[in-house]
Chain A
Amino acid sequence: MLTALADPTRRAIFERLAESPSAVGELARELPVSRPAVSQHLKVLKEAGLVVDRPAGTRRVYSVDPAGIGTIRDYFEQFWQQALVRFRIAATQPTQEEE
């Protein structure tokens, strides 16, 4: 199962929001992604607890969730996935005693 940030487009949106809060339209203008696709990615990020949104006039402005537990979880999830892949490679190498 890929996590919310494993998708490169979502990661780009997330990193862009980490720099400054933005509305859907701004993100769609700056990134090579259609407006509906941006909305869909934001929905996934929001459900993953990575971003929050608030109304600003007629728009909704998205920003990275300051509470951050979702972010921390996502970070460590991917951290350990990567670590265990490295571990598996090491554990399946022939040992020196066997050689």
Chain B
Amino acid sequence: MTTQVDATSVATAIDVEAPVEHAFRVFTDGIGSWWNPSHHILEAELAEMVFEPYVGGHIIDRGTDGSECRWARVLAYDPPRLVCFSWDISLSWQLETDPAKTSEIEVTFTPDGPSRTRVVLTHRNLDRHGDGWESMRDAVKEGWSLDAFAAVAAA
């Protein structure tokens, strides 16, 4: 289920059959267990992902050649209810070093009973990435393809 919040953000929610602490831990510490391994901007293949569990930490992709990409800054870390991180990747799929040109992702975890959690993810300030439609179009046609998304949406 998806709710569009305003013109510059998107939100999506999912219910997970797991306690809130576990859901939070899998989302953060266990990010490498669910993140699509083809979704990275390293030259090399993705070897592992690290989620540094504190404000000021990063989400780090490590390549099989030892290279690193710190593509997100942890902006809020409040287990097991809230995590917020930046999206420091430009629309041309380069690391964005100017924080004013980055968007941010907030994820909330709300218990729905002892073994069920509602996860709501909001990606906001998308307009801060500025223009870049052409590169987004190329990416859609190549690596991070819409076909995969459509398959999931239709499932």
A residues contacting the other copy or chain, number (CB 8 A): 38
Distance in Å: Cβ of B25 to nearest Cβ of chain A: 9
- Chain B at the A interface: SS class: mixed
B residues contacting the other copy or chain, number (CB 8 A): 47
Residues of A within 8 A of B150 (CB): 5-6, 8, 11, 78
Task: Give the contacts of A49-95 with B (CB-CB under 8 A).
Answer: 64-69, 71-73, 75-93, 95
Distance in Å: Cβ of A53 to nearest Cβ of chain B: 17
Closest to A84 in B: B14
Residues of B within 8 A of A64 (CB): 133, 137
Picked from A72, A86, A89, the residue with its CB within 8 Å of the CB of B136 is A72
Distance in Å: Cβ of B101 to nearest Cβ of chain A: 13
Residues of B within 8 A of A34 (CB): none
Known: A84-B12, A87-B26. Is A77-B4 also a contact (CB below 8 A)? yes
**Residue with the highest number of chain B CB atoms closer than 10 Å, among A73, A85, A86:** A73
Known: A69-B8, A69-B126, A87-B34. Is A79-B144 also a contact (CB below 8 A)? yes
Known: A81-B12, A86-B34, A90-B26. Is A72-B129 also a contact (CB below 8 A)? yes
User: Which A residues fall within an 8 A CB radius of B?
Assistant: 1-3, 5-6, 8, 11, 15, 18, 64-69, 71-73, 75-93, 95
